[in-house]
Amino acid sequence: MKSVMLGREGRNRGVVTLALIVAVLGAAQLEAQQLLVPMDREQENHLKAYGLAFGVLTAGQTAEWLLNYRSGSFLVPDTPDNRRRAAFMGVTVEPLDGGALARVRREIENSNMESVPLEKAPRIAIYTPPNSSPWDDAVTMALEYAEIPYEKVWDGDVVSDALENYDWLHLHHEDFTGQYSKFYLTYASSPWLQEEVTRNETIARELGFESVPALKKDVARRLREYIENGGFLFAMCTATETLELALAAARTDIAASFADGSPADMSAGQSMDWDLSMAFEGAVLVTDPTLSAFSDIDGHQVNTPWRVELGSYSLFDFSAKFDPVPAMLTQNHQRVLPDFYGLTTTFRRDRLKGGVTVLAEEEGRGRVKYLHGTHGEGTYTYLGGHDPEDPRHLIGDAPTDLDLHRHSPGYRLILNNVLFPAAKKKKLKT
């Protein structure tokens, strides 16, 4: 009888052991259901990889951003749909079994890397004129190429507080001083500029403003409030510098009429209130109406006699564990990038306010290319220049074909910003 009981106990222990093995194997199999989206030079299409990650979030799944691991790779669920979508988009993915995934996690844990959960696709808006074409703006081109959905907003939407419907906002290359980027110096007789002037003057009147500069100043104030309330703003080129100038000029009278086609009188703006701006202070305005420049914030002054030639800029390295936000914004497979012009190309370091985080600069030249800051509950990020793959972009140039630039490190900076709001929020040191 005793031997029979021992046999039963042995069988019971065997059942328990088998159950444990099944449970362990099941957990390993569950953990293995991940696809690594490498973002180093093994990736076939860096730009569409962001679209794949965004699509995973849009489908209600979660993902992970592996900061500093293979140039900022992603982990997404290994599902038939995700495999099919990756294949259709031409995005490289690597299935990870339980052992491989465990090794990745150990490497991340024991080095300057971090895994950041991506939880929900942000609602994206582009501030852009109603008649703008997708190829007018690098961010719009990046979104369309990466297959990331977005909506357009303009002044009427901003004034009616529609921005509260969006998590992330990009500013098209707008001149928030109301001077139409001073294009009248070269393109005064061009139908497209005349149409732009008419369109802006019409919307200003419809919204009850005395002039276009007055409207743009109010829009700039509302954009700052959008950030204060928790919005994420990303701006490039002219929008960076002129947004700050419009904010600082909120208490000065620079809203001259454009009825005669002349530039606004910015001389009164020399008494700017920099307490109202976010990133810059102490700038000197360009008041010469014959010069296509706004202030000395821009370090390159592309359309002036003192134009600075292009060089390169370097991304800063950040601790993924202690500075995950700037680390996210600078994930890349290339650390030194070729520069590119815009009406605002770079930012003078000596014009930055304290607390602004420099993400990339021209080393030793006092010029910043890429910066990030917080304001209230939200953030702003500025990238100088117009098109990362068109260094000397001119009006009328052919649109950039991003399929020829699938590995563009400059466009990766743009798409880093698009995914940034999806990250699970943590208490940060910066």
CA end-to-end distance (rounded Å), the chain: 71
Tell which phi-psi region holds residue 101, choosing left (phi > 0), alpha (psi between -120 and 50) or beta.
Answer: alpha
413, pLDDT greater than 60: yes
Q: How far is CA 260 from the centre of its chain?
A: 37
Residue 318: which residues within 8 A CB-CB, separation 6 or more?
326, 327, 330
429 confidence band (pLDDT: 50, 70, 90): very low
404 confidence band (pLDDT: 50, 70, 90): very high
Instruction: Kindly report the CATH number assigned to the domain that includes residue 306.
Output: 3.40.50.880
Handedness of CA 321, 327, 331, 334 (dihedral sign): negative
Tally of structural domains, the chain: 2
**Same domain (yes/no): 66, 146:** no
220, pLDDT greater than 60: yes
**Same domain (yes/no): 128, 77:** no
**Same domain (yes/no): 245, 293:** yes
pLDDT digits (tens, 9 = 90+) for 28-84: 444 448 999 999 999 999 999 999 999 999 999 999 999 999 999 999 999 999 999
Q: What is the chain's mean pLDDT, rounded?
A: 86
pLDDT digits (tens, 9 = 90+) for 189-205: 788 778 888 888 999 99
**Same domain (yes/no): 111, 164:** no
pLDDT digits (tens, 9 = 90+) for 10-32: 444 444 444 444 444 444 444 44
Question: Given this model, what pLDDT does residue 130 score?
Answer: 81
Question: Given this model, what pLDDT does residue 11 score?
Answer: 46
The answer as to whether 414 is a domain residue is yes
Average pLDDT over residues 273-290: 90
Q: Which two three-digit tokens encode residue 220?
A: 């700039």
Alpha helix stretches (DSSP H) within 169-293:
184-187, 191-206, 212-228, 238-248
395, pLDDT greater than 80: no
Percent of the chain at pLDDT above 90? 69
The answer as to whether 429 is a domain residue is no
Question: Given this model, what pLDDT does residue 133 score?
Answer: 60
Question: Given this model, what pLDDT does residue 24 score?
Answer: 41
The answer as to whether 226 is a domain residue is yes
Give the burial string for 32-68 (b: 16+ CB within 10 Å, else e): bebbbbbbeeebebbbbbbbbbbbbbeeeeebbbbbb
Measured between alpha carbons, how far is 183 from 197 in angstroms, rounded to an integer?
Answer: 11
**Same domain (yes/no): 329, 412:** yes
Question: Given this model, what pLDDT does residue 6 score?
Answer: 41
- CB neighbourhood size of 131 (10 A): 10
298, pLDDT greater than 80: yes
Measured between alpha carbons, how far is 194 from 198 in angstroms, rounded to an integer?
Answer: 6
Largest pairwise CA distance in the chain: 111
- Given 118, 136, 171, the domain boundary residue is 118
Q: 257 or 272: whose pLDDT is higher? A: 272
pLDDT digits (tens, 9 = 90+) for 146-166: 999 999 999 999 999 999 999
Give the burial string for 150-173 (b: 16+ CB within 10 Å, else e): beebbbebbbeeebeebbbbbbbb
Question: Given this model, what pLDDT does residue 167 score?
Answer: 97
Residue 30: which residues within 8 A CB-CB, separation 6 or more?
none
90-104, 155-169, 246-260, 288-302: least confidently modelled range: 246-260
Measured between alpha carbons, how far is 182 from 204 in angstroms, rounded to an integer?
Answer: 18
134 confidence band (pLDDT: 50, 70, 90): low
The answer as to whether 285 is a domain residue is yes
**Same domain (yes/no): 114, 135:** no
**Same domain (yes/no): 261, 345:** yes
Which pTM does this prediction carry?
0.87
Measured between alpha carbons, how far is 178 from 189 in angstroms, rounded to an integer?
Answer: 18
Most trustworthy range by pLDDT among 106-115, 254-263, 296-305: 106-115
Question: Given this model, what pLDDT does residue 270 score?
Answer: 52
Question: Given this model, what pLDDT does residue 228 score?
Answer: 97
Measured between alpha carbons, how far is 129 from 52 in angstroms, rounded to an integer?
Answer: 28
2, pLDDT greater than 50: no
The range of the structural domain enclosing residue 375 comes to 124-422
CB 204 within 8 A of CB 215: yes
Residue 22: which residues within 8 A CB-CB, separation 6 or more?
none
pLDDT digits (tens, 9 = 90+) for 332-377: 999 999 999 999 999 999 999 999 999 999 988 999 999 999 999 9
**Same domain (yes/no): 177, 61:** no
Separation in Å, CA 80 to CA 95, 161, 362, 387: 12, 41, 44, 36
Question: Given this model, what pLDDT does residue 180 score?
Answer: 80
